[in-house]
Amino acid sequence: MNQLIIPLLDGTLVAATPLIFAAIGELIVERSGVLNLGVEGMMLVGAAAAFGMALHGQSPAAAICVAMIAAALMASLFALLALGLAVNQYAAGLALTISGSGLASLIGRHFGARSGTTIARVHLQGLSDLPVVGKVLFGQDPLVYLALALAVMAWWFLNRTRPGLVLRAVGEAPEAARAIGYRVLRIRYLAILTGGAMAGLAGAYLSLAYTPLWVDDMTAGRGWIAQALVVFATWKPARVVLGAWLFGGVTVAQLFAQTFGLQIPPQFMSALPYLATIVVLVAISRNPQTLRLNTPLSLAQPFRPDH
Amino acid sequence: MIRLYLERRAVPSRVMGFVAPALAVLAMVLCAIPMLRLAGLAPLATLRVFFIEPLSSANGVSEWLLKANPLVLMGLGLMIGYRANVWNIGAEGMYTVGAICAAWMALRFADGVHHWLLAAMMLAGMLGGMLWAAIPAFLKTRLNTSEILVSLMLTYVAQLLLSWLVNGPMQDPQGLNYPQTALFSESATFSPLIAGMRLNASVFITLGAVPLAWLLLQRSFLGFQLKVSGAAPSAARYAGFAQGRLTWIALLIGGATAGLAGMFEAAGPLGQLSPVISPGYGFAAIIVAFIGRLRPVGVLLGGLLLSLLYLGGEAAQMSMNVPAAMSRSFQGLLLLCLLATDVLVDFRIRLRP
Amino acid sequence: MPPRIALEAITKRYGSFVANDAVSLAVAPGEIHAVLGENGAGKSTLMKIICGTIRADAGQILWEGRRTSILNPGAARELGIGMVYQHFSLFETLTVVDNIALAHAGPFDRAALAARISGMGERYGLPVDPLRLVHHLSVGERQRVEILRCLLQNPKLLILDEPTSVLTPQAVGRLFGVLRVLAAEGCSILFISHKLEEIRELCHSATILRGGKVVGAVTPAEVSAADLARLMVGAAIAPVTRSAVATGGVRLALRGLSLPPTDAFGTALHDLQLQVRAGEVVGIAGVSGNGQAELLDALSGERTAAPGTVMLDATPIAHLDAGARRRRGLAFIPAERLGRGAVPAMSLRENTLLTAYRQDLVKRGFTRNAAIAAFARGIIDRFRVGCSGTEAMAASLSGGNLQKFVVGRECSLAPVVLMVSQPTWGVDVAAAGFLRQNLIDLSRRGAAVLILSDELEELLEVCDRIAVLFRGRLSAAMPRETLRIEQLGMLMAGLEAGAA
């Protein structure tokens, strides 16, 4: 049984990490009142950019930076449309995903089957050698810890700081926020950039640590799952982490099936995360009151300030 | 410093309704040039391969219309949904399930000559697509769940379902273990209109769907209710239009058209099922609907345009060693440009005094 | 001593429409200055310019004698300009402290700020609990938060936009007390209103706007309300005539209607009893937030209720939806005309079809466009709707004209029962009079008419009987002749002294 628990817990944490990055980023964006359906596209671009850098022998840190910048640039394009021209946010986000997917394939066309530098796991003296918990809790790669730290920071930012309060106000009533002097579009732009960078970080993690090989469409819908996570978590960072762990667990559940010799077709196991996403969405949406009380009131509505 | 701002027009500009998509195509081409250069490709040569060469032969035109077929049909279904503010993103999945159901029918009656088989397959395709659309419809109307993510998740599930079927239950027993079904019998495939080309009679059905969609939206009371429901949901509730029923209708129409498109492909150019039966038609159809400005004739033209992009992508892949993903980039770029130029319909650009 | 603020020839255009045309006014320190005008006269635009939300196309603003540009709301705040909005600019999911912290530069210390809020509330007679969530507050309490938010900035100019429309008569008196104290301390006050008696009671001076221009600057105490009205409208206003009531049978009855609220922000309805007869106009008075929206949803059919609680001509209809109720002759005009009563992006012809579809305008599922256009033309002619034709977009009509269209459409359905919410909100005086007369005339032709409004003057002018809705409970409907404003005011305040 021990042989199973460690890989399961370990795998869950690792699988949850890109989801946490992407979902926390999108949570910030949606709290400001903007819905960006382009997370999947930005993650793919981040993955491609990071992998490209790694193939050229750059350090993981440099690769991650480039990935975050590339994704943030794409997010800027979305911001230009959604904020500057106040177009339909659903369509703009979808356009971003389709473009990002094409762009990532283009960048990745020469990658082949090679591997670049990857991210090494941490080894803490004494702690990492503990049985069971050693590897799981203290032997992860640094980005796993970063993801959890970012979730905590997001919580603290939203609930304990003035800028976080302003962000929440902008998401609830942008007209009122403008009336008391806040630059709504600028705040939303910063949120969108942050979300983009986080999506890039998530993509970079996928291509550098999770699967250090380039596969076309390597996010396999994780950007969408991250989007669903934000709803499931009712826009609260702590619940995003819980949800990500849940999904991470479902993703690595394939281990179980093989070990127990269950004759389940691999496609069914692969479908589990998507089906689970639908189930959690239904669970959280069932009570209209819960959703309405927690949804940022101005979500996805274009804002055109008076002049 | 010059500062521009947007001033809302008193009445949306009808002229811009036609000009904006054309401007978007122009903008896309202009943006593509530096991007192609960055990717290490000769811009003008690539653009010629993309847009001009595919149409330079009769067979090319046949392929163009053939590829436009599913795009236009699905685009019409999505258009009706979007006008009603029902955000169906899962056309790709409904297409897949429609193809699966049609294929089941074909394989079930593989022996002999049956004149009714194609019609039965069309019905099966539509029902399959509607079944897949019924899931988000039920979840939205009864359980208040957003149709965007549900329909999207179901495209992944449909893809995996197809993969399992062609590797298992529906696999061709004489197929040397390849993941594909047996080839459909003659009764179960569309015959080409002209010998040597793949274009078949299903395009006429799609063509007939265009005026039907127009009639629905512009002349029927149901279409009116759908439009009100999309433009002002509070007004629809006020008027007593049953929102739940309208959501179901919008999603089922989207599912039926997508499922039928899946059948057209399966019984037409594909002739069998394999793990990949669509180069992303379901998502391209979303762009078709938007570039057509959610109007039937616009969707027809948009379908033709995106079909050209697909063909160009294939041609570029063969002659210039450019990946097929290139056409996806163009599609995304086109949608981005369209969203930008579409603003000019409702607003005009003004200089700040 | 220079005026606190002076506007010189302020002009603002939107396309070909001139919202403000060379408007000039001046307010001295400690002066309470009214800006009077009917809906559409340009008051809101002018205030937005002073607050920095929008910028004028021409003209000067002088602050304490010096030329100033107010480029954005932050700049206005720094000068010392505070605004209390008509439709409050508060964040409902945040606490009072957080709301005020957002407007308050300085260290982010919730505890200290809460203490200051309590202190200031005591000092000015605006008590409020800093730790409560705004969505739990009553409308009057929310206005206090808006005012306190401004006061904490030590404003030199306080602007109040139609502050009394959400208050009971007693609360209005308390508000005036606070404003007089502030003015005595040197704060200048701009008081936007269309309520003539209140302006005469409170304000030192008044500027009257009409059609974007200044048409008069007077001392309110020295002129009569009729003079002010004439300046505001530009002509004498024909009074509404209410002929004698000859009622028929009971058409609409509420029997013990009770409903829980749909969400945490709503009001529950408790055991409502009401009868509306053919030929009469019944009014329900009350400040918004006391259950009006819930009552209207229950009446229109957008929400169903327990069987037997809503009766139409002795037929139970409480379980029927909106479409079914319309089939039985119920018509309904909502308060929100754009987005609910009419679809903004659709033409008047299409908007006719929204509720008139049973007037032989749909055949075998297809719309009869020519017949619909003719029906729309009929409404436009009979109700004098100013528009460019049946194809005009609803959003392009002025508030008054669109309301005339919506009311005209519902009246053209020859309903058995007509329910109206806020019939003249945002409508110019001439159109308002026309609409009120039409509602009375409709009732005299045999319909039962029910009006919900927060404007007491309107109800007293139009209705035969008036009831009061307070916290989800309905008083008895009393004949107009026996009522006085003070009595209604007390009922609206729940007969409790010191209530919001």
Residue A176 inside a domain? The answer is yes
Q: Is C340 touching B (CB cutoff 8 A)?
A: yes
Split at pLDDT 50, 70, 90, the class of C238 is confident
pTM metric for this prediction: 0.89
Q: Could you read off the pLDDT tens digit of each residue along chain B, which spans 353 residues?
A: 566 778 878 778 888 888 998 999 999 989 888 888 877 778 888 888 888 888 888 888 999 999 999 999 999 999 999 999 999 999 999 999 999 999 999 998 888 888 889 999 999 999 999 999 999 999 999 998 999 999 999 999 999 999 999 998 888 888 788 888 888 888 888 888 888 888 889 999 999 999 999 999 999 999 999 999 999 999 999 999 999 999 999 999 999 999 999 999 999 999 999 999 998 899 999 999 998 999 999 999 999 999 998 888 888 888 877 777 778 888 899 999 999 999 999 888 888 75
Domain spans of chain C, in order of start: 5-233, 239-329+415-500, 345-413
Banded model confidence at residue C500, pLDDT cuts 50, 70, 90: very low
User: In what order do the strands lie in the sheet containing C188-193?
Assistant: C81-84, C157-161, C188-193, C32-36, C205-210, C213-218
- Assigned domain for A21 exists: yes
Question: For residue C71, what is the nearest residue in chain A, using CA coordinates?
Answer: A307
Q: Residue A8 has what pLDDT?
A: 82
With a threshold of 0.90, tell me whether the complex ipTM lies above it. no
Q: Which residues of A touch B331 (CB under 8 A)?
A: 98-99, 102
pLDDT of residue C498: 35
Note whether B339 contacts A102, CB cutoff 8 Å: no
- Between CA A248 and CA A238 the distance in angstroms is 15
What is the arithmetic mean of pLDDT over C305-317?
89
Spatial separation of the C-alpha atoms in residues C279 and A48, rounded to whole Å: 75
Asked if C54 reaches chain B (Cβ–Cβ under 8 Å), the answer is no
Chain A residues whose CB is inside 8 A of the B152 CB are 221, 224
Chain C residue at shortest CA distance from A166: C102
Return the CATH number at A53: 1.10.3470
Whether domain C239-329+415-500 has CATH 3.40.50.300: the reply is yes
CATH architecture of residue range(s) C5-233: 3-Layer(aba) Sandwich (3.40)
Residue A268's pLDDT is 87
CB contact under 8 A, C83 and A179: yes
Q: Which range scores top for mean pLDDT: A34-43, A294-303, C126-135, C285-294?
A: A34-43
Q: Do A267 and B323 touch (CB under 8 A)?
A: no
Say yes or no: C113 contacts chain A, CB-CB below 8 A.
no
Cβ-Cβ contacts under 8 Å, B148 against chain A: 37, 90
DSSP code, position C34: E
Mutate to test the interface with C, among B212, B215, B221 (most CBs of C within 10 A): B221
Higher pLDDT, C374 or A307: C374
Residue A305 domain-assigned (yes or no): no
Residue A307, domain member (yes or no): no
Q: Does B115 touch chain C (CB under 8 A)?
A: no
**Residue with structure tokens 């995996």?**
B160
Q: For B342, name the nearest residue in chain A, comparing CA atoms only.
A: A87
In a domain, A300, yes or no: no
Residue of C nearest to B346 (CA): C345
Q: Closest CB to C301: pick one of B7, B232, B240.
A: B240
**Rounded Cα gap, residues C466 and C476, in angstroms:** 8
Tell me the chain B residues in contact with residue C335 when contact means C-beta distances shorter than 8 Å: none
pLDDT at A166: 94
Q: Is A95 part of the contact surface with chain B (CB cutoff 8 Å)?
A: yes
Find the helix or strand (DSSP H, E) in which B75 lies. helix B58-83
Say whether A87 and B343 touch across the interface (CB within 8 A). yes
Q: Is the minimum CB–CB distance between B145 and chain C shorter than 8 Å? A: no
pLDDT digits (tens, 9 = 90+) for A150-180: 999 999 999 989 999 999 999 999 988 988 8
Tell me whether residue A299 is in a domain: no
Q: Which residues of A touch B158 (CB under 8 A)?
A: none
User: Which residues 50-69 on chain C approach chain A with CB closer than 8 angstroms?
Assistant: 51, 53-55
Contact A285 B144 (CB under 8 A): yes
The residue ranking higher by pLDDT, C299 or C497, is: C299
- C interface mutation test: which of A165, A168, A178, A180 has the most C CBs within 10 A? A180
Higher per-residue confidence, C426 vs B264: B264
pLDDT over 80 at A293, yes or no: no
Task: Say whether A179 and C72 touch across the interface (CB within 8 A).
Answer: no
Tell me the nearest-neighbour CA distance from B212 into chain C, angstroms: 13
Cβ neighbours of C406 in B, within 8 Å:
none
Tell me the pLDDT band of A2, cut-offs 50, 70 and 90.
low
The pair of structure tokens assigned to A158 is: 């939203």
A34 has pLDDT over 50: yes
Instruction: Collect all residues of chain B within an 8 Å Cβ-Cβ radius of residue A281.
Output: 139, 145-146, 149-150
Interface residues of chain B, partner chain A, Cβ below 8 Å: 5-6, 39, 87, 89, 139, 143-146, 148-150, 152-154, 156-157, 160-161, 163-164, 167-168, 283, 286-287, 290, 323, 325-333, 335-336, 339-340, 342-343, 352
pLDDT in tens, A67-95: 999 999 999 999 999 999 989 899 999 99
Mutate to test the interface with B, among C297, C328, C333, C346 (most CBs of B within 10 A): C346
- Contact flag C77-A180 (C-beta cutoff 8 Å): yes
Partner residue facing A288 (CB), from B144, B146, B150: B144
Q: Long-range contacts of range C395-399, CB-CB < 8 Å, 24 or more positions apart?
A: C395/C338, C395/C344, C395/C345, C396/B10, C396/B11, C397/C348, C398/C40, C398/C428, C399/C39, C399/C40, C399/C337, C399/C426, C399/C427, C399/C428
CB < 8 Å to C370, chain B:
none
State the chains in contact with B (3 or more Cβ–Cβ pairs under 8 Å): A, C
pLDDT at C31 over 90: yes
- Determine contact: B241 vs chain C, CB below 8 A: yes
**What's residue A238's pLDDT?**
93
Tell me how far apart the alpha carbons of residues C152 and C147 are, in angstroms, rounded to a whole number: 9
Q: Chains B and C: how many Cβ contacts under 8 Å?
A: 70
How far apart CA C206 and CA C189 sit, in angstroms, is 11
How many CB pairs lie under 8 A apart between chains A and C?
Answer: 65
Of B222, B231, B240, which has the smallest distance from its Cβ to C345's Cβ? Answer: B231
Q: Is B221 touching C (CB cutoff 8 A)?
A: yes
Facing residue for B10 by CB, picked from C301, C355, C396? C396
Q: What is the rounded average pLDDT for all residues in chain C?
A: 89
C68-84: average pLDDT: 90
User: Is there a contact between B144 and A286 if contact means CB atoms under 8 Å apart?
Assistant: yes
Q: What are A184's two structure tokens?
A: 């709504």
Identify the closest residue of chain B to C297 by CA–CA distance: B238
Residue C194 pLDDT class (50, 70, 90 cuts): confident
Q: Search chain A and give the residue with CA nearest C102.
A: A166
Kindly give the residue spans of alpha helices, DSSP state H, lying in C88-234: 96-103, 110-124, 139-151, 169-184, 196-202, 225-233
Residue with the larger pLDDT of the pair C225 and A48? A48
Distance from CA of B293 to the nearest CA of C (A): 15
What pLDDT, in 10s, does the model give residues C460-482? 889 999 999 988 999 888 898 88
Task: Let me know if residue A280 belongs to a domain.
Answer: yes
Q: Does A285 reach chain B within 8 Å, measured CB to CB? A: yes
Whether C367 sits inside 8 A of B219 (CB atoms) is yes
What's chain A look like in SS3? Answer: CHHHHHHHHHHHHHHHHHHHHHHHHHHHHHHCCCCCCCHHHHHHHHHHHHHHHHHCCCCHHHHHHHHHHHHHHHHHHHHHHHHHCCCCHHHHHHHHHHHHHHHHHHHHHHCCCCCCCCCCCCCCCCHHHCCCHHHHHHCCCHHHHHHHHHHHHHHHHHHHCHHHHHHHHHHHCHHHHHHCCCCHHHHHHHHHHHHHHHHHHHHHHHHHHHCCCCCCCCCCCHHHHHHHHHHHCCCCHHHHHHHHHHHHHHHHCHHHHHHCCCCCCHHHHHHHHHHHHHHHHHHHHCCHHHHHHHCCCCCCCCCCCCC
Q: How far apart are CA A95 and CA B286, in angstroms?
A: 10
Does the beta-carbon distance from B153 to A291 stay under 8 Å?
Answer: no
Which chain B residue lies closest to A226 (C-alpha atoms)? Answer: B149
- A301 domain residue, yes or no: no
Tell me the residue range of the domain where A200 lies: 2-294
Look at residue C495 in the predicted model and tell me its pLDDT: 59
Domain total in chain A? 1
Split at pLDDT 50, 70, 90, the class of C496 is very low
Q: Shortest CB distance from C366 goes to which of B10, B221, B241?
A: B221
pLDDT in tens, B327-352: 888 889 999 999 999 999 988 888 87
A299 at the B interface (CB within 8 A)?
Answer: no
* C139 vs C128: which has the higher pLDDT: C128
Would the CB atoms of C92 and A172 count as touching at under 8 Å? Answer: yes
C278's torsion region: left (phi>0), alpha (psi -120 to 50) or beta? beta
Give residue A124's pLDDT.
64
Q: What is the spatial distance between Cα B340 and Cα B344, in angstroms, rounded to a whole number?
A: 8
- Read off the pLDDT of residues A259-286 as tens digits, 9 standing for 90 and up: 666 677 888 888 988 999 999 899 888 8
| Segment among A4-13, B252-261, B266-275, C408-417 with least mean pLDDT | A4-13
